[in-house]
Structure 1
Amino acid sequence: MNEVMVSRMLLVAVASVTMLASCQKDPLKKMSPSDSRIYITNRDESVDFNSFKTYSITDSVGVIEDNQLLGKDRSEFDANIINALKTTLQAKGFTEVPRSESPDLGITVSRIYSTSTGLVSYPGYWDSYGSYYDPFYWGYGGLDYYDPIYYGANYYSTYSITQGALSVDMLNLKDAAADNAIKPVWSAMARGSGVFAPSAAEGEVSAFFEQSPYVGTNQ
């Protein structure tokens, strides 16, 4: 075999490898914003959700940055999340009532912004909501939020949030007076690319409840 033929064969081989490489899929480049999102849900396993029939939901969203409440807002995304939660809770058999009618459950929604990384404890982080939606909001002045250290083991998840996270919490108002505290019974968090896009709201709520089939009045 002469040198010219060897050179041509090498060129063909290199070209073939290059073409194969160019045809390989890059999963990261192909990933859509929805594919990048992570959903976490947690519950109080001692709670029977069939015991709850009514709920009240906040009409605005808490905006939290670096563990500080900046205020309340109702952006297009916020409105979409609240509406999606109402639709889903109705489909689950819950009835929305005003706070003045002593709802069984209180639903709070927050947008959390942070550039830090660390360890999140579930349900340990729930007690921080005393500074976001205090008991007076739900008509239980003088009560504290339940300290989760008293009811079961904590669950931990590492996090790194640069674009923010959506947090939804379901609070037990039905037994607040008897328990002398407002206990969280369910929480959900979403983080990832485009988590606050108005078009993402419905899908995020769906993802939360797909992970939580036990939430409902007839489950």
Structure 2
Amino acid sequence: MNMNMQQQRKAGKWKLGAVLLLLVGGGLLSCRENAINDLSPADSPVYITNYDRSANFSQYKTFSLPDSVIVESNDSYTADQTPLSSRFVTNVANALTGRGFQRVSRGDSADLGVAIIRVNNQYTGIASNPYSYYSNYWGGGFGGLGGVGYSPYYQSYYTYQVTDQYWEIQIVDLKNRPATGTGTGTGSAPPQLTVIYNATIRGADIADQQSVDNAITAIFNQSPYLKAAE
């Protein structure tokens, strides 16, 4: 191999190394841990909306919305009427009224049923520890590491807890609900209601009334189809 070829190959390696260094450096800068530190509270929530594509919202005129928010905690359900919950109810009611729907009093017949849900679930699980086998990996006591004899203890399992918190708005079809439920006799199930609209608020928790206002505005801006007949 002549000298020119060696110099070209070295130069090529240097250029490739420089490109990789720039790419890696740029990746580290863009993926640094504090990349989201400058986000404002208004930028961190995520609004997810979905609806039944077969639903014709113009056929509905009235809706029923309780004055309280449902708090779902694992498999238990309670009602909540804090100032924040009341703000949710008021804003959703005003948004639906502004779309041409009419809110009815509790107990009156309605075309739509609206529920505001505060989900606060906690799950505890057990998982195996992948490092538990290290105590015997080198023949016991980590003796293979220069005879240090260091023998740490790793338990074979550990417990973990996951918290899932978010807000949800559900709208069900009361106008076209079945007259009877499934099954026969006294143990028959109640009529199955169809959820035709769902909105979920995830991300940063909503802790003040301004956040409620921003969330409901964003959700209904994403839902132009949610509108009664003019």
Aligned to 2:57: 49
SS at structure 2 position matched to 1:201: helix
Q: Deviations over 1:56-78 (max 9, x none)?
A: 10111111123432x11111110
In the TM superposition, what are the counterparts of 1:105-184 in structure 2 within 5 Å?
Answer: 105-115=112-122, 162=163, 164-178=165-179, 180-184=191-195
- 1:208 maps to amino acid: I
Distance 1:31 1:81 in 2: 24
Matched, 1:86 2:97: no
Alpha carbons 2:112, 2:175 under 8 Å: kept: yes
Aligned to 1:96: 103
Distance 1:166 1:29 in 2: 23
Distance 2:41 2:195 in 1: 30
Distance 1:32 1:163 in 2: 22
SS at structure 2 position matched to 1:33: coil
In the TM superposition, what are the counterparts of 1:53-68 in structure 2 within 5 Å?
Answer: 53-68=61-76
2:206 to 178, 195, 212: 195
Alpha carbons 1:62, 1:73 under 8 Å: kept: yes
TM-superposed CA distance for 1:178, in Å, is 4.7
Segments of 4+ in structure 1 off by > 3 A?
177-180
Distance 1:32 1:53 in 2: 38
Aligned to 1:16: none
Alpha carbons 1:167, 1:189 under 8 Å: kept: yes
TM-superposed CA distance for 1:206, in Å, is 1.1
Q: Deviations over 1:34-84 (max 9, x none)?
A: 211111111111000000000010111111123432x11111110001000
Alpha carbons 2:51, 2:198 under 8 Å: kept: yes
Alpha carbons 2:66, 2:106 under 8 Å: kept: no
Question: Please, what TM-score do these two structures have when normalized by structure 2?
Answer: 0.60
Q: Which runs of 5+ in 1 are unaligned?
A: 1-20, 118-160
1:210 to 221, 225, 228: 221
TM-superposed CA distance for 1:194, in Å, is 3.0
- 1:76 maps to amino acid: P
**Bigger CA radius of gyration:** 2
**Alignment: residue pair count:** 153
TM-superposed CA distance for 1:209, in Å, is 1.1
- 1:54 maps to amino acid: T
Aligned to 1:138: none
Alpha carbons 1:33, 1:193 under 8 Å: kept: yes
Alpha carbons 1:55, 1:107 under 8 Å: kept: yes
Question: Please, what TM-score do these two structures have when normalized by structure 1?
Answer: 0.63
Q: Greater helix percent: which structure?
A: 1
Distance 2:209 2:164 in 1: 15
SS at structure 2 position matched to 1:78: helix
TM-superposed CA distance for 1:28, in Å, is 1.4
Distance 1:163 1:196 in 2: 16
TM-superposed CA distance for 1:162, in Å, is 4.2
Alpha carbons 1:33, 1:192 under 8 Å: kept: no
Amino-acid identity (%): 28
Distance 1:31 1:162 in 2: 23
